[in-house]
Structure 1
Amino acid sequence: MKTVIQRVLKASVVIEGEKVASIADGLLVLLGVVINDTEVDIEWLSNKILNLRVFGDQNGVMNKSVKDIDGDIIIVSQFTLHASTKKGNRPSYIKAAKPDIAIPLYEKFIQHMESDFGKKIQTGEFGADMKVELLNDGPVTIIIDSKNKE
């Protein structure tokens, strides 16, 4: 699993003109699933994101997690994170998991995050044409790939 995590002052997801998710301070997590991802990836990545210290403490040092600040989270599926651009100019998405594999893992990831986070996480809709709006705070943008954990 690969994620792009952005610390936001606000973020929202709109599908077909309807706002389906909206948060204030917190994290926008773009999540891409590959064909060989497992529940081990879900557990590791969930733990990493929820404990990632990217929010400022009383001294302005990034020393607090989204849990510490009681922030919110939006998770958006994003298969294009696994684009290969090595050949030509048209990205290839061969490594991205097909929906029959990706959807159950995406849903388990959300459930695992909610369980560990202790509150509801907002989401986009898998496979939908989404308009994602955010106000990146910092800017702080972190890329984490569960296949690069060592």
Structure 2
Amino acid sequence: MRALIQRVSQAEVTVDGERIGQCGAGLLILVCAMQGDTEAEAARLVAKITKLRIFKDAAGKMNHSLLDVGGSALVVSQFTLAADTSRGNRPGFSSAAAPAEGEALYLHVASLLRGQGIATETGRFGADMAVALVNDGPVTIWLDTQSSNA
């Protein structure tokens, strides 16, 4: 699985002008399930996300995790994280999981976050969404369970 996480002071997602999800201080998590991903990859991704020490301590150093600071999360499906740009100028997305699998894993990520006690809201899988955020830092981190960084 792939995720792009952004430390935010707030974020929201709207569909057709209606806000369907939001979070306060915490993380905006853009998630993409790849072909062959399972719930095990989702669990590994969530374990990494919740424990990443990317929030400031009293001295201003990034020493606290999302769990440490009691932050919230907004999880948004983002199949374009599977983009293959190695040939030409039009990205390919064939390495993304099939829609039914992708949606199930995306929802599983949100469920696992909630299971950790993190207030978590989501976007709408497959919808044309508008995401607004106030990036805090900015801090933006790429995670991929198929590499050594997740």
TM-score w.r.t. structure 1 length? 0.95
Equivalent residue, structure 1, for 2:134 = 135
Amino acid aligned to 1:6: Q
Q: Distance in 2 between matches of 1:23 and 1:100?
A: 26
Structure 2 unaligned spans of 5+: none
The Cα shift of 1:135 comes to: 0.8
The Cα shift of 1:120 comes to: 3.4
Equivalent residue, structure 2, for 1:121 = 120
The Cα shift of 1:92 comes to: 0.3
Q: Distance in 1 between matches of 2:50 and 2:140?
A: 15
The Cα shift of 1:4 comes to: 0.3
Q: Distance in 2 between matches of 1:137 and 1:107?
A: 25
The Cα shift of 1:15 comes to: 0.5
The Cα shift of 1:103 comes to: 1.3
Amino acid aligned to 2:148: K
Note the alpha carbon deviations across 1:82-139, whole angstroms, 9 max, x for none.
Answer: 10011111110010111121111112221112112x1431100000000000111111
Within-5 A mapping of 1:89-108: 89-108=89-108
Note the alpha carbon deviations across 1:19-66, whole angstroms, 9 max, x for none.
Answer: 111222110000011111012101111100011110000000000011
Q: How many residues align?
A: 149
CA contact 2:23–2:120 (8 Å) conserved in 1: no
Q: Distance in 1 between matches of 2:110 and 2:23?
A: 16
CA contact 2:114–2:120 (8 Å) conserved in 1: yes
1:30 partnered with 2:30: yes
> Secondary structure, in 3 states, of the residue corresponding to 1:108?
helix
Equivalent residue, structure 2, for 1:149 = 148
Q: Distance in 1 between matches of 2:54 and 2:61?
A: 9
> Secondary structure, in 3 states, of the residue corresponding to 2:28?
strand
1:87 partnered with 2:82: no
Equivalent residue, structure 2, for 1:58 = 58
CA contact 2:70–2:118 (8 Å) conserved in 1: no
> Secondary structure, in 3 states, of the residue corresponding to 1:40?
helix
Amino acid aligned to 1:126: F
Amino acid aligned to 1:141: T
123-132 vs 92-101, greater mean Cα deviation? 92-101
Amino acid aligned to 1:147: Q
Q: Please identify runs of 4+ aligned residues in structure 1 that moved more than 4 A.
A: none
